[in-house]
């Protein structure tokens, strides 16, 4: 199960702090304006073998309900303490009400960045016996200003006033502008509920400064008021529709499971379903890890940079089971040619996604976890399961796997980036949590590392935000103590949020940064090579006056942050270097120099079909 994470930010909460929040929980972030904080409920005390944090309370499966539903928040408010010298019915500041509301939602960790407008909230945080703050080093985006202006000044273009609610409207699931301090308990409750129910999404709460300072007595059991939304939440799937799906499975010869981010909470059920039916599985970039990549039935990733056999399978299949996916253009390419031979079954919790890009033959608008449970129950009970035999299909796909495996060439002592990731995979036994930036390194990390469980892979997929890697890794490390977290980054992406080295050092988080440094903006260079006759247009990130020296010198910079760092340039040194990185406790930076002529393969150009797949070539052949 996932926990929602909370971002409180004075300026834009997006990108960076949301990255950490999302990474920590890979779940919806509830963002507050007024102070920066990304928060998540603390996992159980003992280090967990799996990285999924376990809630301390018996909350309903995935939805966080605060206050009323949680037994830890007793109906009688806590008595006055030294830190909080007010009794249950005495007034306290809006900022304190906010912090107490967060505690009642089970928030224990917060990423907050203080500022003039959010000082109230930060002061209130120091009075919280439960919540720990992790201080990031950057307010993403200088253009964004604090939104903590006093309420009566909203709309007056006051100093640092930004209509943050308006600005973020198109990128949040919902947002709130709190105009009355009495609303805070209800709004927080609703915010968490919205963020974690239905199709999860970020929720932003904007609290003006004077509301933070206003005194009031909170009423904790104010009920939520979301009638339309709750009425529209999808119901559990009906048995008839599930039986229809199983009928189609029984009739098919070459079925395939196309699994995406929507299945992040359904790893168990999905594995059981595959066990019962023997249907091969391919995942999207968002869905990596939802089905273990080392399973013989896994076809790894599909799409623009997916494996040959995964794209082949989808092309030749006669039944496409699309669970928790949105038929994104990076996956489908030319939409008419995608899965053109198959019947399509689409199960998704968001009714707007069904039929948006590709019309399914059978669709179920429901939580895919419940759908899979239902399917598994039906399969367990019936004899239909015994009739399922996809042997010839498996053989066909195995042959494709043998003929077209993922591969790369080695040139002397130069380190192939794919090799570095393979070595990491071997040495961590595929158990580490991997976060990435955006670009070639992201694609190679997706292709060459084995992901065995949901939420092991953290990446900015559809949004494609460079600089995601380090903050995401930091967030994941906070939420999963004791688990190794590796940020596989590129030199371009890493530079964008390099200051978070301070966070990982001060908090002593076991985040290993592995930079695949090719001195260029790799993915753009690849497209320049392929489609623009290798004309370099501002894609060189090194020092043009001295191209032979590595610039910037990440090792020296890391030492400046007191993070141990090493550079490796020869293939023979890689294994030892990565081993040392994993064995050193705490933060570590490994700068791996790789050639920039490498291309991510295979590749289906955008708008292309399976037949357009490119499997050969790199920047060395002109």
Partner 1 sequence: MFVANVFRAKVVDISENSLTLEVTGDPGKIVAAQRNLRKFGIEEICRTGKIALRREKIGAAARFWGFSAASYPDLVEASRKNPLTSVNKTVNGSFDQSSSAGGDVYPVEPYESLSMNQVLDAHWGVLDDEDSNGLRSHTLSILVNDCPGVLNIITGVFARRGYSIQSLAVGPAEKEGISRITTVVPGTDESIEKLVQQLYKLIDVHKVDDLTDLPFAERELMVIKVSGNTAARREILDIGNIFRAECVDLSDHTVTLQLTGDLDKMVALQRLLEPYGICEVARTGRAALIRESRVDSKYLRGYSLPL
Q: Which residues bind partner 1 (CB under 8 A)?
A: 165-166, 169-170, 173-174, 177, 194, 226-229, 232, 350-352, 355-356
| Strand partners for 285 | none
How far is residue 355 from each of residues 256, 323, 360, 361, measured CA to CA in Å? 19, 13, 6, 9
Token look-up 């709750």 returns 230
In whole angstroms, the minimum distance from the beta carbon of 267 to partner 1 comes to: 26
In whole angstroms, the minimum distance from the beta carbon of 437 to partner 1 comes to: 27
Full DSSP string of 187-218: HHHHHHHHHHSSS---EEEE--HHHHH-EE--
Specify the residue, 228 or 387, whose C-beta has the smaller distance to partner 1.
228
What are the phi and psi torsion angles at 211 (to 5°)? -65, -35
Q: How far apart are CA 98 and CA 125, in angstroms?
A: 9
Q: How far apart are CA 601 and CA 618, in angstroms?
A: 9
Specify the residue, 90 or 166, whose C-beta has the smaller distance to partner 1.
166
Q: How far apart are CA 3 and CA 24, in angstroms?
A: 9
Specify the residue, 194 or 477, whose C-beta has the smaller distance to partner 1.
194
Token look-up 């919205």 returns 194
Specify the residue, 174 or 330, whose C-beta has the smaller distance to partner 1.
174
Task: Report the chain's C-alpha Rg in angstroms.
Answer: 25
In whole angstroms, the minimum distance from the beta carbon of 347 to partner 1 comes to: 16
Specify the residue, 179 or 537, whose C-beta has the smaller distance to partner 1.
179
Specify the residue, 262 or 542, whose C-beta has the smaller distance to partner 1.
262
Specify the residue, 79 or 228, whose C-beta has the smaller distance to partner 1.
228
**Are 278 and 254 contacting, i.e. CB atoms less than 8 angstroms apart?**
no
| Strand partners for 362 | 345
Q: How far apart are CA 144 and CA 10, in angstroms?
A: 9
Pairing of strands 109-112, 132-134: parallel
In whole angstroms, the minimum distance from the beta carbon of 86 to partner 1 comes to: 31
In whole angstroms, the minimum distance from the beta carbon of 350 to partner 1 comes to: 7
Phi-psi region of 132 (alpha: psi -120 to 50; beta: other; left: phi over 0): beta
Here the tokens at position 470 are: 């380090």
Specify the residue, 348 or 500, whose C-beta has the smaller distance to partner 1.
348
In whole angstroms, the minimum distance from the beta carbon of 591 to partner 1 comes to: 42
In whole angstroms, the minimum distance from the beta carbon of 119 to partner 1 comes to: 27
In whole angstroms, the minimum distance from the beta carbon of 171 to partner 1 comes to: 11
CB-count exposure of residue 418 (10 Å: 0-12, 13-18, 19+): buried
């Amino acid at each position: 199960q996932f926990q929602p994470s909370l971002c409180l930010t004075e300026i834009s909460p997006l990108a960076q702090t949301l990255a950490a929040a999302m990474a920590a929980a890979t779940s919806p972030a509830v963002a507050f304006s007024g102070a920066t904080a990304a928060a998540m409920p603390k996992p159980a005390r003992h280090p967990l073998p799996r990285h999924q944090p376990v809630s301390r309370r018996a909350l309903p499966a995935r939805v966080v309900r605060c206050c009323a539903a949680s037994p830890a928040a007793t109906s009688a408010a806590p008595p006055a303490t030294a830190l909080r010298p007010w009794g249950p019915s005495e007034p306290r500041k809006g900022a304190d009400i906010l912090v107490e509301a967060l505690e009642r939602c089970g928030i224990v960790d917060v990423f907050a960045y203080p500022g003039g407008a959010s000082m109230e909230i930060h002061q209130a945080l120091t009075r919280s016996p439960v919540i720990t703050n992790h201080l990031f080093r950057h307010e993403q985006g200088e253009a964004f200003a604090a939104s903590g202006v006093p309420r009566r000044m909203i709309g007056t273009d006051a100093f640092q006033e930004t209509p943050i609610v308006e600005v973020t409207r198109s990128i949040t699931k919902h947002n709130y502008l709190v105009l009355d301090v009495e609303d805070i308990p209800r709004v927080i409750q609703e915010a968490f509920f919205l963020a974690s129910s239905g199709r999860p999404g970020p929720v932003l709460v904007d609290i003006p400064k004077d509301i933070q300072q206003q005194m009031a007595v909170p009423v904790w059991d104010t009920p939520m008021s979301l009638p339309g939304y709750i009425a529209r939440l999808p119901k559990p799937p009906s048995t008839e529709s599930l039986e229809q799906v199983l009928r189609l499975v029984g009739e098919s010869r070459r079925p395939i499971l196309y699994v995406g981010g929507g299945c992040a909470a359904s790893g168990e059920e999905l594995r059981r379903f595959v066990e019962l039916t023997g249907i091969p599985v391919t995942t999207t970039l968002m869905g990596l890890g939802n089905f273990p990549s080392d399973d013989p039935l896994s076809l790894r990733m599909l799409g623009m940079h997916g494996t040959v056999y995964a794209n082949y399978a989808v092309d030749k299949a006669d039944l496409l089971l699309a669970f928790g996916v949105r038929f994104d253009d990076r996956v489908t390419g030319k939409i008419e040619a995608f899965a053109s031979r198959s019947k399509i079954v689409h199960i998704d919790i968001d009714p707007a996604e069904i039929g948006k890009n590709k019309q399914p033959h059978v669709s179920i608008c429901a939580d895919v976890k419940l759908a899979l449970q239902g399917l598994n129950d039906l399969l367990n009970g019936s004899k239909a399961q015994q009739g399922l035999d996809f042997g010839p299909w498996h053989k066909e796909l195995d042959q494709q796997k043998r003929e077209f495996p993922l591969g790369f060439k080695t040139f002397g002592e130069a380190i192939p980036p794919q090799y570095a990731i393979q070595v990491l995979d071997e040495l961590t036994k595929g158990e580490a949590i991997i976060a990435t930036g955006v670009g070639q390194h992201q694609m190679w990390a997706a292709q060459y590392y084995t992901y065995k469980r949901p939420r092991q892979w953290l990446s900015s997929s559809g949004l494609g935000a460079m600089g995601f890697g380090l903050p995401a890794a930091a967030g994941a490390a906070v939420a999963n103590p004791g688990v190794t977290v590796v940020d596989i980054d590129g030199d371009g992406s890493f530079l964008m949020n390099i200051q978070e080295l301070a966070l990982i050092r001060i908090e002593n988080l076991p985040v290993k940064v592995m930079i695949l440094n090719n001195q260029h903006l790799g993915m753009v260079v690849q497209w320049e090579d392929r489609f623009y006759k290798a004309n370099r247009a501002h894609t060189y990130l090194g020092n043009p006056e001295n191209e032979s020296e590595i610039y910037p010198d990440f090792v020296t910079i890391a030492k400046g942050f007191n993070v141990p760092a090493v550079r490796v340039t020869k293939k023979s040194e890689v294994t030892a270097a990565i081993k040392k990185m994993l064995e050193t406790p705490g933060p570590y930076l490994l700068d791996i120099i790789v050639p920039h002529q490498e291309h991510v393969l295979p590749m289906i150009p955008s708008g292309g079909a399976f037949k357009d797949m490119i499997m050969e070539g790199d920047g060395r052949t002109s």
